[in-house]
Amino acid sequence: MSLFFDVLSSINNPNQQASVSQLDSITSSLQQLSASSGIQPNQMQSMMTVLGGALRPMLQKQQSTMGGNQLGGLIGQLANGGRGGNASLMQSVFTPQLQQQLTQLISQKTGISSSLVQMALPTLIPAVLSLLNMGSPKPGVQGSNSILDTFLNSKNDSDIDLGHVFQFANRFLNPGTI
C-alpha cells in the first residue's frame, strides 16, 4: 500500500507530474482492456501483481547499470512513447523474447491463457510505466521519481504490489464501487 500512498502524495505535490486525470487515464485503459477481453477484475489484479514482480528486478538491474536519473528518463520516454507512438523504443526495451517470457510467467502464475496475456501485455506494460512515471519531477524541477524509487527500493513486496495499487486507484477514483 506504500506505493499507492506515494501515488497520492505525487498527485498532491505541485513539483511532480502526477495528476488525478493521469491516474484515471491509466486505470481506464485497464478497465477498457478488461471489458473488451473478458478479463475479470480479480484476474487483472493478479496479472498486474505478477507483471510488477517480474518488472521490478529487471528495472533494478537497469538502475544499477545506468543510474536512477537515466532510468527515470527512460521510463518517461517509454511511458510517453506508449501513447505517442514510439513503438520502436518500446520494442527495443521490451523485446519479443522478453514479452514471451513475461507472457509465460504471468500465464503460469495466474492460470490465464497465454494468448489472453499476450494480447493484454501491450496495454499492461505502458500502464505500469505510466504509473511509475507519475512520480517524476516536473520539467525544470530538481529531484528524483518518488514512485519509481519506492517501487525499486522497498524492502516489503506487499508495499509495491501493483495489483493492489490499481485496486486502490479504482477505489480512489470510484469511491462508491467495490
Give residue-wise pLDDT tens across range 101-153: 999 999 999 999 999 999 999 899 999 999 999 999 998 888 889 999 999 98
Q: How confident is the model over 64-69, as a mean pLDDT? A: 78
Do the domain assignments include residue 177? Answer: no
In this prediction, what percent of the chain has a pLDDT beyond 90?
60
Host domain of residue 160 = 2-172
Average pLDDT, the chain: 88
Contacts for 16 with CB less than 8 Å, ≥ 6 apart: 10, 134, 135, 136, 137, 138, 141, 143, 146
Total structural domains within the chain: 1
Band (pLDDT 50/70/90 cuts) for residue 7 is very high
More confident residue, 83 or 152: 152
pLDDT score at 72: 84
d(Cα 40, Cα 24) in Å, to the nearest integer? 19
Band (pLDDT 50/70/90 cuts) for residue 83 is very low
Contacts for 125 with CB less than 8 Å, ≥ 6 apart: 51, 55, 82, 90, 94
pTM here is 0.89
Do the domain assignments include residue 104? Answer: yes
Partner residues linked to 137 by β-bridges: 16
**23, 30, 27: which is closest to 8 by C-alpha?**
23
Q: How confident is the model over 7-15, as a mean pLDDT? A: 94
Answer yes or no: is pLDDT of 84 > 50.
Answer: no
Do the domain assignments include residue 178? Answer: no
Answer yes or no: is pLDDT of 52 > 90.
Answer: yes
